[in-house]
Structure 1
């Protein structure tokens, strides 16, 4: 068994929902919950950063498109966040794993007193054996206080709690030298050891990955840059295969790994 470590796992909307419809991919979610519970049973400290509140809220309100205005997004997120946590609570409770909801805005990690308070809250939850489930507080955040995406949020949380690993679960198995959907000659990237290489990849990365997500490969590269600068090993891997987290901890070469 790998030594006990602290890890942050981020899963995006594209992995949580099937086909961009806002409908939960329950098999993926159940596999993720089972994997995280297994890691907890092995003694690891685990934080989950989960997107999906806006997508679920849109489905609950029968909206066909992601909201464009901040006020509408906040309203939809308020509808979806409760449903998101209800689903997580049902799944984790089936495995007797306690969870906690943690909603953050950028000011929580920018102001010293709030930063220290956030750190203490996370440390206490982890010492209690709880898995904190983190999301941006979309309901109250204004534009200048937003993280922009949960990739950035997960990297900052990993830095805050002194995690050894950050896993970015997405809708591709790893990074490629070009978009494999349009370029059959794209080559897989197994590992990145230098900040300069991340910077070079950012120059060619695309924009938003899906209609329902706010991220894309560029935000994941930026998150990897934040995390590795803080000494956190980062992995981009397939969100439909959550067991890749366990494999990476065991030393297997899954996804694209960024060395701190």
Structure 2
């Protein structure tokens, strides 16, 4: 465990995933106060020489807000249209906020077939490597606008996408910012006696099946998808931590070796 903690503290390439419920209000509008705090932390880490990749949700939610649509859309064309509308605003907000800290960002929209096509996979890897070499912060989202029902879902949510990206680029650490502190033995929003599980050594089927989803109608990811992401990271030898995104300073605490949220221990050391 001491060795793993040191690996986390020494992490050079870090993927951070933030969900819709963390960066937006209930009506889908951007939570600028919290998002600015997150940007400040990530920009500071980039200034310190860390390679930072941000995987963000929120495009559909922001699109709903911009179009004054209160309910989450059910049809694929509606989702794709709102994602297209919201993605423009989402990147505008991030670009403006990061520029306040003299950081350059790049939009990377990934399609679901990138993990199946070796050429696309290699090209995507090369793009990430070049962006990081340039000192740019890639901001990643799934390309919802061109996804089709005929394509078998590979990502389905940005928890899985963030783990796929972490594996693809050989990240040292994946941090999932959630709306709760980490993985509990039961749903903390429904059970007051729920206890936080600080560390998971084996991401087995029982852990996934026993997890209760706490997601709302803002996004697609719940606790089960986060544990699924942990399984991908475990197989790839990448430590993953789930923590509360309402306090982005948790990222500093993680890199200081403090016990924050739930740590998923990878199967192997690379």
TM superposition score category, shorter chain reference: over 0.9
Distance 2:23 2:164 in 1: 22
Aligned residue runs from structure 1 range 167-178, under 5 A = 167-178=175-186
Paired residue for 1:82? 88
CA contact (8 A) 2:63 2:82 kept: yes
1:159 matched to 2:171: no
Residue 210 of structure 1 deviates from its aligned partner by 0.8
Paired residue for 2:210? 204
1:32 matched to 2:65: no
Distance 1:46 1:145 in 2: 29
Paired residue for 2:52? 46
Distance 1:132 1:97 in 2: 11
Residue 4 of structure 1 deviates from its aligned partner by 5.2
Which consecutive unaligned segments of at least 5 residues does structure 2 have? 1-5
Distance 1:11 1:168 in 2: 6
Paired residue for 2:13? 6
Q: What RMSD in Å do the two structures reach over aligned CA positions?
A: 1.3
Paired residue for 1:187? 195
CA contact (8 A) 2:187 2:213 kept: no
Distance 2:44 2:166 in 1: 20
CA contact (8 A) 1:47 1:131 kept: yes
Paired residue for 1:91? 97
Structure 1 residues 215, 4: CA separation in 2 closer, same or farther (over 3 Å shift)? Answer: closer
Paired residue for 2:158? 150
Distance 2:58 2:221 in 1: 12
Distance 1:66 1:222 in 2: 24
CA contact (8 A) 1:92 1:99 kept: yes
TM-score after normalising by structure 1: 0.96
CA contact (8 A) 1:208 1:214 kept: no
Paired residue for 1:255? 261
Deviations 1:95-123 (A, max 9, x none): 10000000001112220000000000000
Aligned residue runs from structure 1 range 213-232, under 5 A = 213-232=219-238
TM-score after normalising by structure 2: 0.92
Distance 2:73 2:171 in 1: 33
Deviations 1:65-86 (A, max 9, x none): 1110111100111100000000
Which consecutive unaligned segments of at least 5 residues does structure 1 have? none
Residue 138 of structure 1 deviates from its aligned partner by 0.6
CA contact (8 A) 2:181 2:243 kept: yes
